[in-house]
Amino acid sequence: MTMESIISIKGLRKSYGTKEVLKGINIEVNRGEVIGYIGANGAGKSTTVKIMLGLVTDFEGEINILGQDIRSGDISYKSKIGYVPETAEIYENLTAKEYLTFIGELYGMDYTQVDEKAMKLMDLFGIGDVYNSRISSFSKGMKQKTLIISALINDPDILFLDEPLTGIDANSVMVFKEVLERLAKEGKTIFYSSHIMEVVEKLSSRIILLNDGQIVADGNIDELKNTSMASSLENIFNQLTGFNDHEDIAEKIVAVIKGVE
Ligand code: ATP
């Protein structure tokens, strides 16, 4: 199979004020890869994703998505992207039907087609009964499922998922994981950012670990386990982010809680 470059990031740097968040990142992603993009809180994962989506525009470096330079002014690549953001900005006053048909129409879909598709997906994700209810009345997980559906509605070539499983119940997590595996097999490219290491380990064909604004590991789970001599992704993460004092920190936290320190 010939490799088709879907995402190409070269020399990406980004600062907020005097703080350099991304310090020269290079990533090449080919069609069908499922990238698990991991790193500690504040490492710069969401910033990378927001830059690729054109939501953050002042950066240094070169980014091509689906062969298109994202700074060229041509935003047609965005119609082939689905995005589940870390924090949901969802139109609470709309019903799921109104919201999803609105998103579908933004992607250029026909109203009847998107309405039917949205209803079917809501049903399959177990929330078909609230299709006509306002999103403000939804539970956290129901809102998250609606966001996931909105990211899938246009059958995108690339999916950017930033902690997509937050608030989703265990049964639906199984369904969603299976959906992602099947989409990847069909040639979709998935860029998945999460702190749930078991899921990242299971789903990703390749894992990229960001630490202090730089990539410190890039490979499939077996390669990473071999090079770091670690048994799990959690251990690799601890090792490469220089963290081995969880017991000590926990002991101090408990002492503070109990007022003995
Ligand atoms: P988390 O795992 O906690 O979601 P992350 O790896 O996604 O973290 P980012 O959200 O990319 O991290 O943030 C990286 C750094 O950039 C953090 O230090 C954060 O404070 C800073 N940052 C992000 N957005 C802004 C902003 N709009 N203005 C100033 N600083 C920002």
Where are the chain's structural domains? 33-50+76-258
What residue's CA is closest to ligand 1, atom 19?
42
Q: Is the pLDDT of residue 1 over 60?
A: no
Q: Which of 25, 38, 45 for a ligand 1 pocket mutation test, highest count of atoms within 8 Å of Cβ?
A: 45
- Is the CB of 16 within 6 Å of ligand 1? yes
Is residue 206 a contact partner of residue 33, using CB atoms and an 8 Å limit? yes
User: Can you tell me the distance from the alpha carbon of 227 to that of 213, in angstroms, rounded to the nearest whole number?
Assistant: 21
- pLDDT at 99 (0 to 100): 95
CA of 204 from ligand 1 middle (Å) equals 23
Short-list 147, 157, 107, 155, CA closest to 125: 147
Q: Is the pLDDT of residue 35 over 60?
A: yes
Within 13 Å, how many C-alpha atoms sit on residue 2's CB side?
2
Q: What is the pLDDT confidence band of residue 234, given thresholds at 50, 70 and 90?
A: confident
Short-list 130, 134, 167, CA closest to 148: 167
CA of 133 from ligand 1 middle (Å) equals 34
- Is the CB of 18 within 6 Å of ligand 1? no
Give the contacts of 34 (CB within 8 A, at least 6 positions apart): 180, 184, 189, 190, 192, 203, 204, 205, 206
Q: Which of 1-5, 28-32, 108-112, 131-135 has the lowest mean pLDDT?
A: 1-5
Is residue 121 a contact partner of residue 128, using CB atoms and an 8 Å limit? no
Short-list 211, 164, 213, CA closest to 191: 164
Which contiguous run of DSSP H or E holds residue 171?
helix 170-185
Q: What is the pLDDT confidence band of residue 218, given thresholds at 50, 70 and 90?
A: very high
Q: Is the pLDDT of residue 192 over 70?
A: yes
- Whole-prediction pTM value? 0.89
- Is the CB of 85 within 6 Å of ligand 1? no
Q: In what order do the strands lie in the sheet with 81-84?
A: 81-84, 158-162, 189-193, 34-39, 206-211, 214-219
Short-list 54, 46, 48, CA closest to 71: 54
Q: Which of 1-10, 62-71, 198-207, 250-259 has the lowest mean pLDDT?
A: 1-10
List, for residues 50-92, the tens digit of each pLDDT value: 999 988 989 999 999 999 999 988 888 888 999 998 777 778 8
What residue's CA is closest to ligand 1, atom 22?
16
Give the contacts of 191 (CB within 8 A, at least 6 positions apart): 7, 29, 35, 37, 49, 52, 158, 159, 160, 161
User: Can you tell me the distance from the alpha carbon of 63 to that of 52, in angstroms, rounded to the nearest whole number?
Assistant: 7
List, for residues 170-188, the tens digit of each pLDDT value: 899 889 989 999 999 999 9
What residue's CA is closest to ligand 1, atom 27?
16
Q: In what order do the strands lie in the sheet with 19-30?
A: 19-30, 5-16, 60-65, 68-69
Work out which ligand 1 atom sits closest to the CA atom of 44.
11
Q: Is the pLDDT of residue 261 over 80?
A: no
- Is the CB of 21 within 6 Å of ligand 1? yes
User: Can you tell me the distance from the alpha carbon of 215 to that of 69, in angstroms, rounded to the nearest whole number?
Assistant: 22
- pLDDT at 244 (0 to 100): 72
Q: Which of 41-55, 94-108, 223-237 has the lowest mean pLDDT?
A: 223-237
- pLDDT at 2 (0 to 100): 60
- pLDDT at 231 (0 to 100): 84
- Is the CB of 93 within 6 Å of ligand 1? no
In the chain, % of residues over pLDDT 70:
98
- pLDDT at 199 (0 to 100): 87
CA of 245 from ligand 1 middle (Å) equals 24
- 33-50+76-258: CATH architecture: 3-Layer(aba) Sandwich (3.40)
Short-list 95, 138, 96, 141, CA closest to 120: 96
Q: What are phi and psi of 119, to 5 degrees?
A: -65, -45
CA distances from 165 to 44, 55, 177, 180, 206 (A): 19, 22, 9, 12, 19
User: Can you tell me the distance from the alpha carbon of 30 to that of 41, in angstroms, rounded to the nearest whole number?
Assistant: 27
Q: Is the pLDDT of residue 226 over 60?
A: yes
Work out which ligand 1 atom sits closest to the CA atom of 86.
4
- pLDDT at 167 (0 to 100): 87
What residue's CA is closest to ligand 1, atom 15?
42
List, for residues 102-148, the tens digit of each pLDDT value: 999 988 899 999 999 999 999 999 999 999 999 999 999 999 999 99
